[in-house]
């Protein structure tokens, strides 16, 4: 039950795009057609589902204050949390690289669909944001962290697919010249964000 709660909360109420604006750059750049949006969205779910639990383990067993106790009593007072940014980004960049190679080797079809998006994802704020929020939320175990990663990814997926569908149709509307392109995408995201605020109980 707790897991379902975390999933729904991270996917809808704390939606990455509409509440925190994580990953807006690729969200705006890759949302011109539904097909590419689905590809990037799937890649984000995939990478978040892997890196959040990995970073959770790193946080619990290496970085947190007192996390090194398993090495021996004398390490109990060490606090390495100032290293978390650089460790998280290293884990993310290398995981993305590794995943890219594995997918290319074992599933060429999936690589064809996700391949070009994977390198983009290493510097997507949504992935590092997921790791940093995981650090703040202090989950109890790896299961919860994984579900949080998958839920956040799913929320991001919904957001990018929805905006891509709207942008495909809005091509046929008369929009004031200066608002064409990015301007309209911002307004659309704002309006969708207002809708998603409903999940927070406004």
Partner 1 sequence: MSEETKEALFSPKNKKLIAEPININNPVTIQVLGICSALAVTVQIDNALIMSIAVMAVLVIGNVLVSLMRNAIPSKIRIIVQLVVVAALVIIVSEVLKAYVYDVSKQLSVFVGLIITNCIIMGRLEAFAMGNKPWASALDGVGNGFGYGLVLVIVAFFKEVFGSGTITIPGFEKFHVIPQAFYDMGYENNGLMLLPPSSLIIVAIYIWFQKSKNPELIDEHGS
Give residues in contact with partner 1 (CB under 8 A).
18-25, 28-29, 32, 82-86, 88-90, 93, 119, 122-125, 127-129, 132-133, 136, 167-168, 170-171, 176-184, 186-187, 189-191, 193-194, 197, 202
Helix, coil or strand: residue 50? helix
- What is the nearest approach in angstroms of partner 1 to the Cβ of residue 139? 15
Cβ closer to partner 1: 4 or 90? 90
Nearest to 164 by CA among 124, 192, 198: 192
Closest approach of partner 1 to the CB of residue 119, in Å: 8
H or E element that contains 135: helix 125-137
Could you tell me the smallest distance in angstroms from the CB atom of residue 70 to partner 1? 25
Considering the complex, state which of residue 92 and residue 147 has its C-beta at the smaller distance from partner 1: 92
The b/e string for 74-109 (b: 16+ C-beta within 10 A; e otherwise) is eeeebeeeeebeebbbebbbebbeebbeebeeeeee
Q: Cβ closer to partner 1: 4 or 194?
A: 194
The minimum distance between CB 84 and partner 1, in angstroms, equals 8
- Residue number, 113 or 132, with CB nearest to partner 1: 132
Euclidean distance between CA atoms 10 and 49, whole angstroms:
13
Degrees to nearest 5, angle at CA 90 with 45 and 41: 15
């Amino acid at each position: 039950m707790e897991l379902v709660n975390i999933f729904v909360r991270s996917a809808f109420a704390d939606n990455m795009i509409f509440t925190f604006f994580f990953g807006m750059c690729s969200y705006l750049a890759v949302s011109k057609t539904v097909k590419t949006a689905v590809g990037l969205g799937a890649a984000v779910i995939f990478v978040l589902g892997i890196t959040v639990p990995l970073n959770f383990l790193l946080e619990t067993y290496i970085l947190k204050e007192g996390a090194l106790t398993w090495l021996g009593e004398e390490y109990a007072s060490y606090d390495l949390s100032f290293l978390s940014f650089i460790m998280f980004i290293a884990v993310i960049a290398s995981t993305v690289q590794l995943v890219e190679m594995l997918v290319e080797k074992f599933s060429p079809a999936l690589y064809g669909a996700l391949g070009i998006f994977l390198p983009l994802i290493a510097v997507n704020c949504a992935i590092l944001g997921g790791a940093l929020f995981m650090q703040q939320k202090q989950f109890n175990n790896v299961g919860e962290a994984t579900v949080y990663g998958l839920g956040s990814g799913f929320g991001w997926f919904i957001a990018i697919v929805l905006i891509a569908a709207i942008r495909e149709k809005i091509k046929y509307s008369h929009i004031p010249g200066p608002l064409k392109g990015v301007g309209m995408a911002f307004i659309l995201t704002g309006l969708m964000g207002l809708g998603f605020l409903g999940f927070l109980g406004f």
